[in-house]
Each structure stands twice: as C-alpha cells, then as structure tokens.
Chains A and B, each alone.
Chain A
Amino acid sequence: MQATFRIFRGDAAGGALRDYTTEVAEGMVVLDAVHRIQATQANDLACRWNCKAGRCGSCSAEINGMPRLMCMTRLSELPLDKPVLVEPMRAFPLLRDLVTDVSWNYVVKKRIKPFKPRAAAADGSWRMAQADVDRVQEFRKCIECFLCQDVCHVLRDHKLHDRFVGPRFLVHVAALEMHPLDVEDRLPELREAQGIGLCNITKCCTKVCPEGITITDNAIIPLKERVVDRFYDPLRRVLRVLRG
C-alpha cells in the first residue's frame, strides 16, 4: 500500500510543503515513513530522532496539525486517503525541515533553582514513603519533548518566551517543590520571572503530553495555589503590613 506525506521542507528564510509518496506497511509509525523517504527520496530531509520508542522525546512534530511524537503515531490511526501533513513545531525558531531550535528551553531550565535536599540521616541516606514520592514520580516521567511548550498559546501565539517558562518548566518546578527532601523556596520566581500567572489553565498541554502527565491539574494548579497563598492571601497581607 502507498501513502503520501506532505512534509515541510525549508529553513528560516522560507520553505514549502512537499509531497512524498512511499510504501507503507502494517504497524508503521510516522517516523518510519519519514525515514523511508529520507533513505530513498530525500537524503537531506532533516528530522530529529533517537530512541524510536517514545522515551527520549526527540521526534516532536505537528502531524495533521497536532503536536505529537512521530515515533508514537501509528499510521493506522491516521486517514491515509489524503496526504499526512508533517510540520515542525511552531513555538520555536525553525532550523531546517522538521528541526527547530529548542535551545531556549535549556536556557530557561538552567535558571530554575536546583534541588536542595535537607540533611541526610547519619548513614547518609533518607527515608521516604512510596506514597510521598508518587506525585513527584509522575512529573519526573517527563521526556522533555517540548510538545506542551509547542501547544501552549502563551508561547505559540503570544510569543511570551521572555515572561513565561511554559508548562514543561512548571512541571519541573512542581517536581522540585513537591520533592519530599527539597528545602529550596522557588515561589517568588514562580510568580515573577517564571510568569505562572500567565497560564489560564486551558489544559492543552495536558492533552498533548505523550507521557500522560496531568500537567495542569497536578502540577500547575497546585503551584498557583501556593503562589496565591503566599502572596495574595488577604489575611497574610494584613499581617505583613502590621509586621512591617
């Protein structure tokens, strides 16, 4: 059976969608098709990938308009009677074809205060119950594919990259803040530089997360509550004024 893939080719200076028709077989994912096209028709077609098993988060793209991992998108779930549209992520500057410049994410992450544990027991270790680490483990499943960043309208449409860190890094902050051993305080930055107030919980990030992390409900909303408790609680505000 044959299928056609309409793939973006080009760079920051410009480009266009190009159609490639290739043989497809049972069980194939979009990345397989892209590889086949790369090997047989377009040796210089640029795409990122590594594990091909949904673990590394490299092959993020927009497939028929949806931010997805190419390696986890089965052809059987797409209508193949029309071309499959494969485009690069839009929240980041384009490098070439399906590859975007995601370096901004690494800069942002570096600014977040690192893990700071409380003192260990005499034997150099800590005790933590499984129940207490469950929610942090959910956040730590993140494979940094940046699809949540791509879909977030604050970044994608409003381009507020300098005022908002995006869902990925709110999840990262949540993983640190809710880590049972961590003693660092990240709430002031969360409110200011990281711009948590800009998120208006439309939950698009949760919807596209290939790891199924409940980003909005489990990470962002609890963080928003912490910020509100600290900085906007009227009773605390009065106390702050009284104490000078």
Chain B
Amino acid sequence: MAEYETHAYDVVVIGAGGAGLRAAIEASAAGVSVGLVCKSLLGKAHTVMAEGGIAAALANVDDRDNWKVHFADTMRGGQYVNNWRMAELHAKEAPERVRELEAWGAVFDRTQDGRILQRNFGGHRYPRLAHVGDRTGLELIRTLQDRGVHQGMDVHMECTVVGLLKDDGRVAGVFGFDRERGRFKLLRAGAVVLATGGIGRAYRITSNSWEYTGDGHALAYRAGAELIDMEFVQFHPTGMIWPPSVEGILVTEGVRGEGGVLLNNAGRRFMFDDIPEAYKSQTADNEEEGWRYTQGDKSARRPPELLTRDHVARCIVRELKEGRGSPHGGVFLDISWIRKRLPDAEEHIKRKLPSMYHQFKQLADIDITQAPMEVGPTTHYVMGGVRVDAETQMSSLPGLFAAGECAAGINGANRLGGNSLSDLLVFGKRAGEFAARFAKENRAPIADSVQIERAARQALEPFDRSGGNGEGPYQVQHDLQRMMQELVGIVRREDEMQRALTELEELDRRARSARITGNREYNPGWHTALDLPNLLVVSEAVTRSALIRKESRGAHFREDFPEKDPAWGKQSVVLRQAEEGAMEVALQPLSELPPELKQVIEEMK
C-alpha cells in the first residue's frame, strides 16, 4: 500500500501559468474549493517568458481595430483550420480580460492620453498588443498570482502529477508527488483543468523551459481524451544562436514591431523577396513604407518582417540553405539601424526592449543598440493539444477541461504572436467557470484504490530498474530531442518521419530501462525519468499527425508536399489511445463557418 496525503477539492487545476491561474481565480470566484498544482514555484511558470504583449482589439492606438479584424487576422494566420468559434470568442472577449488585469493591479505601458498602449506584431493588421516593455508575461503572471493567493485557493507548489484518476467514465482527481520530499499526494476533484503548457522540450533547440514536457497532453491522452492538430508546432523565427549555451532563447517579435529588420550576410532585407499572396495587399513593398508603419503611420502597410511566424521562419531556413547565413549559422536581426532615423534611438531601444538589451549584453556580449543580433528558428509553441469544446473548454472526457497551450483549436495551423497571452486569459477564465459548474452539478466522484496503487507503482518503478546498459534518463532525453529536431522539425519528409517512428520505439525501450540514482527527495534524475514517457507520447503524436497530413499549411511544412491542398483545409487530424494502447489516428471534418463569420473574413481580405 502506498502512503499518501489526501486533499479534496471541487476543482483541481494543473499548471500555474497564465491559463491555470486564470482558471483557478474564476473557479474560486464561483464559490467552489480549488487546488492549484504546479511543477515549479508559484510565479515561475513559462508564461513569465512571454515578451511582446497581449493581443486584444482595444483600439486604443488605432480606432479602426475591432473584434472582427482580430478574428479575421487570427483565422488568416491559422490558415483557416482554426476552431472558428474559439477564434470568435477569443477576439470578442480579449479586451475585457485585459481591462480586468488592470483592475487587478497590472501596470501596462501608456498612450499619450493615458490609456493602455498597444504595439505592432506579426500578422496583426493594427497595433494590438497591450504590453509592458518586453516583459509582459511577468506582469501578467504576477498580477494573476497576487490576485489568486487572496482568493483562498490551495497552492501545491513543486508538485508533479503522474496520473489522472477516473470514476465511471469521468475524471475523479489527480495523483502526484511533491518534488521537494517525494511524498505522494492524492487530490480528489469534481473537475480537473489542465493548463500545463507545451511540448518544446521534445526538441533540441527550444525557447521553452524544462517544464514543457507535454504533461497535460500525455495525461489527457492516457485518460482517454482526444488530441488534435498535433502536427502544428511553431518554430519561432528569432531565437538566439550564439553562444551555444543560449541557443534557442527567445528574441521577441517586438524587436521587429519596433522597426527591427532581418538581413542576410549580404546585408539584404530578404523578407521582401517572398510575400505570400494572402498578405500582398497588406504588406509594404518598400523599406520606407515599412518604417513608416512601425512608427504609427496609419496609411502605411506593415513591413514583411511582420509576416506570420511560420513564413518568416521558412524564409530564414531558405537563406541558410542557400548559403547566405551569418557566421554562426543564423541571420541578422538589426534594430540598431534605427539610429539613422531616430535622434534618441539608443534610449528608445533600451526603453522599449529592456530585457532584450539586457539578455544580449549579459549573455552574448552584444549591445543591440550598436550592433545586429544573430538569430535562427527555435521551437516555441504547439498549436495542437487536447480537443476541447469551444464554449466550455471541456475535453472529450467528462469533467476534464483544458486551457492555454495544452488545449487546441484557436490557433489552427499557426499562432499569431500575442494571441497566446489573450488565449490564456479568455479560455483560462472559461475553463475555470465551466469546471466549477461541472463540479457543482455532478455528484462527487470516487477514485478507487486500484488506480491509486497503480499510479504510485508507476511513479516509483524507475527506482526498481537494474539498469540494462547503465544509461541514465538524461542521455535518452538528449537523444530524443536531437532526433525530433532532425527528423520532425521545420522541414518534414515522409522517409525521415518513418525513421522517426522507428527510433521512437527504440527510445521508448531505452526510457523504460533508464537507471536513476539517489532517493525521492528533490531528485532531478527521477523527475527526468518520469518526464520521458510524456515526451515520447507527444513526439509520437507530432510525428504521426505530420505523416498523415500530406500538404504544407502554416507551421507544418512538407518538402514532399510543398503546396497547400484545399481538401486538407476541411479536416483535422485527431489522435486517441486505442484499447490495446496503440495511438489511433483519425480524420475529422472541420465544422462549417456560419455565414456571418464568412462575411467578416471576406470583408477583411
């Protein structure tokens, strides 16, 4: 019999980034008891890394903006395979969610007349991102954290969830352990909200922290819920590339929003060389117009550096392949050139991009007010995730909800910068609200001891391994990351992905025998051994989905099928665990856009 401490809540939220905190706040406000579980200390979640801002059509800077424009931008950016209802709710509700943050103490940068300032970002027609310099994520998480702790929720910090418990086809709680001491915890729950973020740690080069091991995706999948859109993994075009130890760390799109330009080794602004048809009418065709746009000229169109992330990343890959890269294998991102245009450019850059200035100065010995940065694509975000109902965020498993990056739908084939923070708020709130309602309206479930014992056994199993060839979990993790980077990265091919599936089987075998040392107290080796099965599930999910989608769309680019196929624009790839444990891949038609939304999209073309 395993020993564990027991807690009982109406709602348990897993993950304390933006979505988890917002869900927990909403559920508490609905008057139910809430337990919030997070792998790190409170306030350290990956949301803290978000830089550019929160997309919301407040129309403070450009009064032509409204939800319809935001909706159309989001659908265009997602190449029209988004869940249209989520995109609609998101565009309509984001402004209210931002104003609410201000009421809770957030301090955004201001316009001349004292309102929330908004900045330009890729794929957004008007300046739309409410921001605080380039540390918007910190502002968001701190505001929610400070609001949340005064609402009476229990926070279980540094706690890993190893399994979801069920009762007669619905969710009944979670089982996990505290990382500090390694002691088991049973959290009974009427409803569970997954807000665990992404999967970036399945790749070698990523902007994501160690937490991003696809836990929510894997927990949901194993509990019988469906995953969708997993082939869509966003590679952010601008990650740091030098020195090697900082490879992958994000360089905010805000640099380009403030006038930064991308250059190849010949000094050419290569983004002008390939502007997609769908964006031609709204993209500047000369440098002068692009500059005027970044400086707020409403008659100007945006520079091609602010095209969507999938496109910019591919253009960079093209420059690299054709031998026009920078000395360390990236391209140049230059904001220092604005010295030619602005009298106080150095101060302006430091004020608008303080973290970037700091990051390059301290980690790369580069002063970005004087010299260009070297950047290259980095694994940043997964559009795919748990399939949820647009209104309630409930998954296909009753009582299990998901919000934020681990849920899918709003972003389609590619996410616009800034839409993640607004997604967290809009759908975090909805998930919290409907999870609370679900818990109130249904009887308290019971998780039987058989499941609990099984979860405890699985968690401790790594300690029992005799260790075949004696390798530890870190080696397996590194090899998995290298393999995914190489075989299921930005540019994909049938034969490489078939090879990836074979290698995943071998990695799975190695993961099962990886040996660990030490005891249960704050043991990162043990924690890594338990992350591996989750990473393997999401890696297989990405690979299988990417194999079946024989076209290129948004973030998913197939060298062997480089064109977009209209038939694929009408369906999504859905994954579920078959009875015997194998991953089952199915296609599901997208629901038809209602005429009024179709019209909105037409009007905005």
Smallest Cβ-Cβ distance to B519: which chain A residue: A44
- Once A43-B518, A140-B132, A179-B107 are accepted as A-B contacts, the answer to whether A52 and B249 lie under 8 Å apart by CB is yes
Task: Give every chain B residue within 8 A of A48 (Cβ-Cβ).
Answer: 40-41
Measured CB to CB, the closest approach of chain B to A104, in angstroms, equals 12
Cβ of A78 < 8 Å from any Cβ of B? no
Within 8 Å CB of A128, what residues of B? 107, 110, 114
A125 to B60, CA, bound (A): 12
CB under 8 Å from chain A, chain B span 100-123: 102-105, 107, 109-110, 113-116
Measured CB to CB, the nearest residue on chain B to A32 is B245
Q: Which of A21-29, A156-164, A193-201 lies at the binding interface?
A: A21-29
| Residue pair A57, B146 in contact (C-beta under 8 Å) | no
- Whether the Cβ atoms of A115 and B48 lie closer than 8 Å is no
Chain A CB within 8 A of B524 CB:
yes
The interface residues of chain A lying within 8 Å CB-to-CB of B41 are 48, 58, 102
Q: Size range of the interface on A?
A: 35 or more
**Can you name the residue of chain B whose Cβ is closest to the Cβ of A38?**
B524
Interface centre among B473, B519, B525 (most CB of A within 10 A): B525
Asked if A126 is an interface residue, CB under 8 A from chain B, the answer is yes
Flag whether A97 is at the interface (Cβ < 8 A): yes
**When the two chains form their complex, are residues B525 and A49 in contact, meaning their CB atoms are under 8 A apart?**
no
Q: Which of A25, A40, A106, A114 touches B245 (beta carbons < 8 Å)?
A: A25
A117 near B524 with CB under 8 A, answer: no
Is B498's beta carbon under 8 Å from chain A? Answer: no
Per-position 1/0 for B119-159, Cβ under 8 A of A: 00000000000001101011100100011011000010100
B522 touches A43 (CB 8 A): no
B114–A27 contact, CB under 8 A? no
A95→B180 contact, CB < 8 A: yes
Q: How far is the CB of B103 from chain A (nearest CB, A)?
A: 6
A180 to chain B, nearest CB (A): 9
User: Which residues of A lie under 8 Å from residue B43 when comparing CB positions?
Assistant: 56, 144
Give the complex CA separation of A129 and B110 in angstroms.
6
Q: Mark B474-509, 1 if CB is under 8 A from A, else 0.
A: 110010000000000000000000000000000000
B525 touches A43 (CB 8 A): yes
CB-CB under 8 A for A11 and B521, given A49-B210, A124-B99, A126-B102: yes
**Residue contact B113 to A127, C-beta cutoff 8 Å:** yes
Known: A29-B245, A115-B104. A46 touches B524 (CB 8 A): yes
A29-B363, A43-B473, A117-B105 in contact; A51/B522 too (CB < 8 A)?
no
Q: How far is the CB of A148 from chain B (nearest CB, A)?
A: 16
Q: Counting CB contacts under 8 A, is A236 at the interface?
A: no
Q: What chain B residues lie within 8 Å of A97 (beta carbons)? A: 522
The CA of A147 and the CA of B139, in the complex, are separated in Å by 20
Indicate whether A205 reaches chain B with its CB closer than 8 angstroms: no
Bound-state CA distance A176–B143 (Å) is 12
Nearest A residue to B142 via CB reads: A140
Contact indicator B516/A27 (Cβ below 8 Å) = no
Kindly report which residue of chain B lies nearest to residue A97, judged by CB atoms.
B522
Q: Name which residue of chain B comes closest to A11, CB basis.
A: B521
B138 touches A54 (CB 8 A): no
- What are 20 A-B contacts with C-beta separation under 8 Å? A11-B521, A25-B243, A27-B246, A39-B478, A40-B474, A43-B524, A49-B209, A54-B355, A54-B359, A55-B137, A58-B40, A74-B362, A99-B180, A103-B157, A106-B155, A110-B150, A133-B110, A140-B139, A141-B135, A182-B105
Would you list the 8 A-B pairs with minimal beta carbon distance, nearest first? A27-B243, A44-B518, A43-B525, A127-B114, A115-B105, A39-B474, A46-B522, A130-B110
Q: Which residues of A contact B (CB under 8 A)?
A: 11, 25-29, 32, 38-40, 43-58, 72, 74, 95-97, 99, 101-103, 106, 109-110, 114-115, 117, 120, 124-130, 133, 136-137, 140-141, 143-144, 176, 179, 182
